[in-house]
Amino acid sequence: MDTSQYMSMFLEESMDNLQVLNDSLLKLEQNPEDVDRLNEIFRVAHTLKGMAATMGFSNIADLTHKMEDVLTQFRDGELKVNQNVVTILFKCLDTLERMINNISEDIDEDVDIKDIIEDLEKLVNEHEDNKEKKKEESKTEVNNCNNNESADGNLSIDLNEYDVNVIKQAGYSGFNAYEIFVFLSENTLLKSARAFLIFKDLEEYGEIIKSIPGTEDIESENFDFTINLVYLTKKDKEDIYNVLINIAEVEKVVITEVNLDGIAETGKEIGEEPVKAKEVKAEVKDNHNTKAKARQEKSSNKENGTHKKSHQSVRVDLERLDKFMNMVSELVIHRTKLEQISQKAKLMELNETLEQVARTTSDLQDLVMKIRMLPVEVVFNRFPRMIRDLSVELCKDMELIIQGKETELDRTVIDEIGDPLLHLLRNSADHGIESKEERIKSGKDPVGKIKLTAYQEGTKAVIKVSDDGAGIDPEKVRAKAEEMGINTEGMSEADIKNLILLQGFSTNKEVTDISGRGVGMDVVKTKVTSLGGTLDLISEVGKGTTFIITLPLTLQIIQALLVKVGSETMAISLGYIDRVIDYNKDRIKKTNNKEVILYGDRVIPLVRVNEKLEIETEDSGKKYIIIVKVGEKTVGLLVDSLLGQQEIVIKPLGKTLHSLKEYIGATILGGTVTLILDVSALV
């Protein structure tokens, strides 16, 4: 049988299992006596091993098996959880992740696991004598169990005369006949896939002559979590048990020998008391009754015109979602064009239909947006392990606190935001958090706190990375700036601190693998800006530093204000706009050779958009100032006129115009291309 159809499921489940192992190992290191956590790690590692073996990835199965040996010693109390042992297990997880990524990306690379296996074996060999002793005791116990007299009971599966003859003939040829009960975990999502893997593995060593459920029920997933088989093989019970229990999501296996006089011998599960065939039969009978009842209800539902859904979710290829989003975007463009035609031609009878189309399109748009949204947890969950490793590497006591991981962002933003956050967290660990001695001397908690927070604010998502470290010293930044030839005269303290976001700017005198190369912070700012977001910095010496990333919830369809700059029509995202005020010459003043506007009790810098974009302005008519907020900064943008609010679809500019930093893209309005201003670049 071909297992390729289950490859994507294997890859997804394996990466999920590795993440669970990472998280659980971190928690176990902090609380070594947590038995539940240890059992969870053991269970997940066992599942990963079984899945890899089933799919034929022997290297992954071998490495996980060695890892299981160490975990067994944890569980048996032979080995203590400490930093050294956990570090070796983390190396093991990193190697497994690399191997699974290679499979995912179809990279033909032989990952050398010799060194890591040697490290794991060293840990195991420290207590090998105790382990062997326990094995012998366990072996004696199993033998005693096998020597017990079997209880009488009828076979759970009804066999016809042909089946009985097949079993008899097989017995003459040296085959054993077993009745097998396989109990799947109740959390199993794809029962038919698991059943397929069970059948595939058993058929390698013998023949299945009868099964409940049957093939049709298995394919339609019309069965509970129990599979009952009659099986012929030359292997013994222990071998078959080991084959089945290593399959992912198999919770329990009971094997009984078939007695052709109508008696099934004592059911035996390794490490458990014998199970009487009568008891098992009763349980299976109940399952059969439940299934019969379910089929009856299903039939009744069909007659009544209702049909209960068997699945509440479905996996969809991301490429299909992208196409869906593009089609909705095109629909929005043509809807806008229709509205403009209707207004020009004054076709009143079209208005009602267009309003209905507009509502439906908006609902469809909201729906596709929600489908594409993912919680930031998928990015955040890899950072606790990273901070733990940095804590060991830098010899600093650090703790990562995560808040708001359920906050949702567009899949495109999620894919891109990981690296900037990685840079910021590494910067906090290296530059921000002081050594234990320095923190004690300053009267701080010896354990440094790094906080990663996410929340939604209107149409934007805010992600904060903060630490309670040394903060940024503006004098050090000023000295470095002047050394680089940057004039800091007239700059506020906040502006000076923000200089660290410039390319190649670093106050770290030593170059390390963690930070200090001057390539981190400018990369963060560039990436955040390319996503239509902003990056702000707040820092206080001795108290700590906070980086604030503000991002749009989605990158493709936005509400915008259309404005005129000279003869050109431009669009500005409403997400940036605080308010719009009339232009009045009397309000404009000059300070440090720069224009500002007096608004209420605030002094706001003024940007003449036509001068920035080198467009000739039109003197006629009323002008407006659009007050925009970019992170912590507020600026007034002077435009020639307002054209109203519009829902627009952002289209990329393409390679030719990619260097134009003043625009985040373009949109099509009434058949003409309209550029969308990048407010953060103007500010």
Residues annotated as catalytic (active site), given as ranges: 46, 68, 427
DSSP state of 266: P
Tally of CB atoms within 10 A around 82: 10
Q: Could you tell me which of 493, 487, 480 has the C-alpha nearest to residue 537?
A: 493
Sign, CA torsion 376/377/378/383: positive
Question: Roughly how many angstroms between the first and final C-alpha of the chain, as a whole number?
Answer: 62
Pairing of strands 672-677, 568-573: parallel
Pairing of strands 544-552, 460-467: antiparallel
3-state class of 489 per DSSP? Answer: coil
Q: Could you tell me which of 170, 73, 91, 58 has the C-alpha nearest to residue 131?
A: 73
Q: Could you tell me which of 49, 72, 46 has the C-alpha nearest to residue 60?
A: 49
Written as one letter, the residue type at 329 is: S
Peptide bond into 474 cis (omega under 30): no
Q: How far apart, in whole angstroms, are the C-alpha atoms of residue 286 and residue 533?
A: 59
The answer to whether residues 636 and 626 touch, using CB atoms and an 8 Å cutoff, is: yes
Sign, CA torsion 410/413/418/420: negative
DSSP β-bridge partners for residue 577: 628
Starting at the edge strand found earlier in the chain, the sheet holding 594-599 runs: 577-582, 624-630, 633-639, 602-608, 594-599, 588-591
**Residue 354 CA neighbour count, 13 Å, CB half:** 17
Q: DSSP letters along 107-118, please? A: -------HHHHH
Q: How far apart, in whole angstroms, are the C-alpha atoms of residue 120 and residue 133?
A: 20
Ranges of H-type helices in 154-231: 161-172, 191-203, 215-219
Ranges of H-type helices in 491-603: 493-497, 521-530
User: Which are the contacts of 328, defined by CB distance < 8 A and separation ≥ 6?
Assistant: 361, 364, 365, 368, 557
The answer to whether residues 374 and 417 touch, using CB atoms and an 8 Å cutoff, is: no
CA dist list (Å): 89 to 37, 475, 678: 15, 44, 47
Structure tokens of 519?
């390539």
User: Which are the contacts of 422, defined by CB distance < 8 A and separation ≥ 6?
Assistant: 383, 386
Tally of CB atoms within 10 A around 512: 12
Q: How far apart, in whole angstroms, are the C-alpha atoms of residue 180 and residue 386?
A: 45
Structure tokens of 108?
């033909």
**Per-residue b or e along 554-569, where b marks 16 or more CB atoms closer than 10 Å to that residue's CB:** bbbbbebbbbbbbeeb
3-state class of 589 per DSSP? Answer: strand
